[in-house]
């Protein structure tokens, strides 16, 4: 994951760039007020770390844009591995 930011300080533009791996994704929901839902993506790099938070409107916009461009996601596969159940051996020792 790579994050690029710009900040204007005293009429000067400062650019910052960092990268890292996503470590956790938190979904915070309020059942009484669903519009206040929030998704936090936590990342950690070699010399940096941070949290990127999205509110429900931003997540909906992101979802709509990604669903329009499904051809970008064609090569993405999610694999889920389940532990195998061990069979009891019928051999006697």
Q: What confidence tens digit (pLDDT) does each residue in 66-85 have? A: 777 777 666 666 566 666 66
Lowest mean pLDDT among 6-20, 42-56, 79-93: 79-93
CA distances from 25 to 4, 42, 52, 70, 90 (A): 20, 6, 10, 22, 44
Q: For tokens 């069979």, what's the residue?
A: 87
pLDDT at 11: 92
**pTM score, whole prediction:** 0.62
What distance in Å separates the CA atoms of residue 43 and residue 32, rounded to the nearest whole number? 29
- Residue 43 belongs to what H/E stretch? strand 38-44
Calculate the average pLDDT of the chain. 80
């Amino acid at each position: 994951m790579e994050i690029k930011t710009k900040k204007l300080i005293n009429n000067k533009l400062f650019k910052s760039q960092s990268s890292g791996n996503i470590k956790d994704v938190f979904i915070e929901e309020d059942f009484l007020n669903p519009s206040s839902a929030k998704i936090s993506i936590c990342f950690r790099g070699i010399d940096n770390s941070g949290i990127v938070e999205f509110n429900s409107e931003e997540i909906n916009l992101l979802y709509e844009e990604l669903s329009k461009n499904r051809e970008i996601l064609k090569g993405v596969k999610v694999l889920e591995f389940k532990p195998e159940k061990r069979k009891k051996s019928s051999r006697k020792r």
